[in-house]
Chains A and B, each alone.
Chain A
Amino acid sequence: MAIKLAIQNLSKLYPTGEGVQNIDFHVEEGELVTLLGPSGCGKTTVLRSVGGFIDPTGGAIKVSDQDVHHLPPEKRPSAMVFQSYNLWPHMTVFDNLAFSLKLKKVKKIEIQQRVEEVLTLVHLQGMEKKYPSELSGGQQQRIALARALLLEPEVLLLDEPFSALDAKLRHELREELRDIQSKRNLTMLFVTHDQEEALSISDKIVVMNNGHIEQIAPPQDIYNTPASLFVAQFIGRMNFIKGQAVNNTIQIGDITLTMDDLYTGEVTLGVRPEDIHVADKSSVRIEARVDKMMMLGHFAEITLHTLIGSLKMFVDRQQLEQFELNSTISIKLVNFIVFKENGEVLSNRRMNVNEMV
């Protein structure tokens, strides 16, 4: 696939000393790439640099191999959907949509036809005469998306377009966005701080933290093999257990685990709640007391008290009956990640039960 958007060693330093550095990634044609990270990590800064609303301090931005650095926003081949206040309240939906076409001096009949077409695409047929204030938040964002689509951008930029909407609507619009993307073969750069949103819609996620990139990978890989302690903490749920590594063993309390790598020093063990299983009789196991049980829909969260600390464990809804409050059970860690003191990953592996000594 051809690379549509390439961001090369981009940096932006604000006078306050904040900003982003070493931003380097690309978006292929027809791909949806998400910039994910906590508030203030620099996602918007990167996106607005692509749109032309921020002048970067260094680096290059190329759309279809063309450097767009010198172009003002109105000349860039990108289109942007903002978090809110997208629409112009003094214009009807039709005029909002037709604005760019009128500037391009497109013929009246064609404008009419294309507005109608794009309204159908976003499921808002017949809304031409309404004013933005007469639309719901979700409808307004749909119109904003439609307006961006009419620009026929090479890259569509979206800055938390759904974050002001309620959860159900957010889900709906996410799916619609995916539909539209596949219909139109859109190339998109999507900003969100919502990890669930990023995991569900992205082809590739760029995880950002404090102005730099932590990891670039498909959602599955981000979840299964986080590249750093930060990514592990930020995405999904994870138990963290402090331990001491000596050569190829890790000592946690009086439990000893083995690993493939050699390392000596303080380590943190990361275990996903779904990677804690009930141990069968034969295997090496950890004693645990059931402290709390919480239904979370199709699964339940169980809080365990163990000698190595408090652990969260996910079980299926049906299995919940097998657990009793304050009873003692045996558990095993099916999968864990070992992080060094500086947050880097040391080892990332699926355990064999017998390896737990």
Chain B
Amino acid sequence: MWYFRTVGKRKIIEFIFLCIFMVFFFGPLLNLLLLAFAGEWQYPDILPKVWSLDWWSFVLQDESLVRSMWLSFFIAAIVTLISLIICIPAAYAFARIQFPLRRLFLFSFLLTNAFPKMGLYVAIAVLFYQMNLMNTFTGIILIHIINTLMFMTWIPSAAFENVHKSQEEAARDAGASPMRVFWHITLPMAKPGIIVASVFTFLSSLNEAEGTFLVGVPNYQTMPVIMYSIIADYPSTAGAVFSVILTLPTLILLLAARRFVGADVFANGFKMK
């Protein structure tokens, strides 16, 4: 990938940070993983005494749990898709059009994530009651999108800003219509940023619990929502199994995104302008 070729000796510092990150991130995760496969595990032991797959088969055979997994992934996919459709044009507009309220707009996106989530959700829930959106699929999608709007606009917007006007103009000059320029030049150049934003959107939707709980119960129980009851009703091993299943896509997607776009894009994505 062309992005890799531009990365210099920053790699070393990056590597150090990665190591620290690994300890903090993979430490608990490793513990979780062990717990998920543990049959019997008492405190001072480093490894479980007895290994077991019992809880895996329990989780994977419980129909409502499996359904919740599919529901979660389905919702996350739909949310990502809709966010893309809404936010990519908005992100482009933010990057290109110099309207005076631009900063205010970006700031307001930030603001939706600054308030305590529950307060915001309750306010939204009141609104949803009036609009008959409670306990509906649409309601859940909406509440997820409210969450994802910010990075889905902000990160691609920064990516679009890195596409210079003269690069687009050169393509016009070469005979491409504005639509073609966007499709062949602007979009591919901003692609790493868009992918990062999409991954974040997908994951945040996958892990969203509070809003889904408020709007979706009792009919729509996604993985994170069901997680609460599992932790309450079953031994911690069941929770661990479920957590692993919930964490796995996060891990896979993040690693894939990292492989695909290189680390400097992550940094660029958060450049505040």
Contact = CB atoms under 8 A, between A and B. Distances in A.
Interface of A: 51-53, 72-74, 78-80, 82-90, 99-100, 103-104, 131, 133-134, 144, 147-148, 151
Nearest to B174: A100
Contact of B2 (A78, A86, A133, A147): A133
B2 A85 contact: no
Given A82-B166, A88-B185, A103 B175 contact: yes
B177 A82 contact: no
Contacts of B170: 80, 82, 86-88, 144, 147
A86 B184 CA distance: 15
Given A100-B174, A103-B174, A80 B169 contact: yes
B11 interface: no
Contacts of B33: none
Nearest to B192: A90
25 contacts: A51-B169, A52-B172, A53-B172, A72-B177, A73-B173, A74-B175, A74-B177, A80-B173, A82-B169, A84-B166, A86-B166, A86-B167, A87-B170, A88-B185, A89-B2, A90-B189, A90-B191, A99-B176, A103-B174, A131-B2, A144-B170, A147-B170, A148-B173, A151-B173, A151-B175
Given A80-B173, A99-B184, A147-B174, A89 B189 contact: yes
B61 interface: no
B175 A104 contact: yes
Interface in B136-184: 164, 166-167, 169-177, 180, 184
A85 B167 contact: yes
Contact of B5 (A84, A104, A133, A147): A133
Contacts of A84: 164, 166
B6 interface: yes
Contacts of A133: 2, 5-6
Contact of B174 (A52, A53, A82, A151): A151
Contacts of A85: 164, 166-167
B185 to A, nearest CB: 6
B169 A53 contact: yes
Max chain A C-beta neighbours (<10 A), residue from B6, B171, B175: B175
Contacts, number: 71
Interface size class of B (residues with CB under 8 A): 20 to 34
Contact of A90 (B2, B174, B175, B180): B2
Contacts of B6: 133
A185 B100 CA distance: 47
B89 interface: no
A86 B188 CA distance: 16
A79 B167 contact: no
A262 to B, nearest CB: 53
A129 to B, nearest CB: 12
A92 B158 CA distance: 24
Nearest 10 pairs of A and B residues by beta carbon? A85-B164, A100-B174, A82-B166, A73-B172, A85-B166, A103-B175, A131-B2, A74-B175, A80-B173, A90-B188
A83 B170 CA distance: 11
A79 B170 CA distance: 9
A103 B173 CA distance: 12
Nearest to B6: A133
A72 B171 CA distance: 12
B5 A134 contact: yes
A86 B163 CA distance: 11
A100 B2 contact: no
Contacts of A78: 173
